């Protein structure tokens, strides 16, 4: 089940923001809650996903937004192509 949720979340991020655009966490959280409901669970899942991506250096946090690290942009393109 977790894997399915992660796939949906990453697809939502790509569909809304594409590659290289800042990710507005507040806006995205609202979209995730609209899709999944369960405000607490949806918010926690998104927060944990972002935390993991920051820990692995895929995203960088800037104020309230996240951006894809330029070194990881090529990797993200490759990952999306295989999904």
Tens-digit pLDDT profile for residues 50-83: 888 888 877 778 777 776 665 455 566 666 666 5
* pLDDT above 50 (res 19): yes
Domain extent for 57: 2-82
Domain count, the chain: 1
pLDDT of residue 42: 83
Output the domain CATH number for residue 61. Answer: 1.10.10
The model carries a pTM of 0.68
42 or 65: which leads in pLDDT:
42
pLDDT of residue 72: 57
**For the chain, percent of residues with pLDDT exceeding 90:** 4
Burial class for 43, CB neighbours closer than 10 Å (0-12, 13-18, 19+)? middle
Give yes or no for a contact between 30 and 36, defined as CB atoms under 8 angstroms apart: no
């Amino acid at each position: 089940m977790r894997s399915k949720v992660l796939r949906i979340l990453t697809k939502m991020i790509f569909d809304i923001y594409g590659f290289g655009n800042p990710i507005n966490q507040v806006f995205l959280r609202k979209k995730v809650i609209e899709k999944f409901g369960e405000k607490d669970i949806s918010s926690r899942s998104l927060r944990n996903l972002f935390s993991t991506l920051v820990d692995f250096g895929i995203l960088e946090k800037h104020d309230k937004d996240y951006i894809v690290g330029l070194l990881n942009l090529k990797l993200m393109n490759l990952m999306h192509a295989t999904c």
